[in-house]
A and B are shown apart, each in its own frame.
Chain A
Amino acid sequence: DGGITQSPKYLFRKEGQNVTLSCEQNLNHDAMYWYRQDPGQGLRLIYYSQIVNDFQKGDIAEGYSVSREKKESFPLTVTSAQKNPTAFYLCASSFRRSETQYFGPGTRLLVL
């Protein structure tokens, strides 16, 4: 099956802890994105990558970090510097920049 997978479905973070959210796609897409979704709000862009080994900050990058070592994978790390990390995190990919984005099922991050 082709698609975008995210893991885990739920993730719990302790105070001062870094956590990493996984995103994998087998659609052969060049571009990948991370969004944060809070209740009653739209999707806000955290980071995006147009090509392997390159990524750009989105509107709310502070407290987050990413890597793009492989075309298929774009993991997001929520660092301890992110003081309000509780949210639903969505990964997306597109064939190229400005093309249709397809979303994964999301990871819900909760703080203990």
Chain B
Amino acid sequence: GENVEQHPSTLSVQEGDSAVIKCTYSDSASNYFPWYKQELGKGPQLIIDIRSNVGEKKDQRIAVTLNKTAKHFSLHITETQPEDSAVYFCAASGFLGQFYFGTGTSLTVIP
């Protein structure tokens, strides 16, 4: 089955700096890659996603890049703010329609 690895597990940045989280996947058939933000005690919320027919997608301060050849995709957050502090999960679609999740990155933005 699919194996999704996510790095780093923890990340601390100063407010205003950029944060980058990277994920790799193993199944070349995966074609959909969502990113979720989870605040403490709450369910994950979709923040951005990308499909395999594009290499980059942006939404204000958030962007995702995808390299299908290398089987990796990354989340970029620019001009970080304290409210960006949360756990971020990447995911990759599986052949049967299920999703495989990374182990999460705990992001702390220091004011």
Contacts and interface: CB of A to CB of B under 8 A. Distances in A.
A55 interface: no
B89 A43 contact: yes
Looking at chain A, what size class is its interface with the partner chain? 20 to 34
Interface stretch (B65-73, B75-83, B99-107): B99-107
A54 to B, nearest CB: 13
Interface residues of B, number: 23
Interface of B: 4, 6, 9, 32, 34, 36, 41-46, 49, 89, 93, 96-99, 101-104
Contacts of A44: 101
A90 interface: yes
11 contacts: A4-B43, A33-B98, A41-B104, A42-B89, A42-B101, A48-B98, A50-B97, A90-B43, A97-B96, A102-B46, A103-B36
A106 interface: yes
B9 to A, nearest CB: 8
A100 B36 CA distance: 11
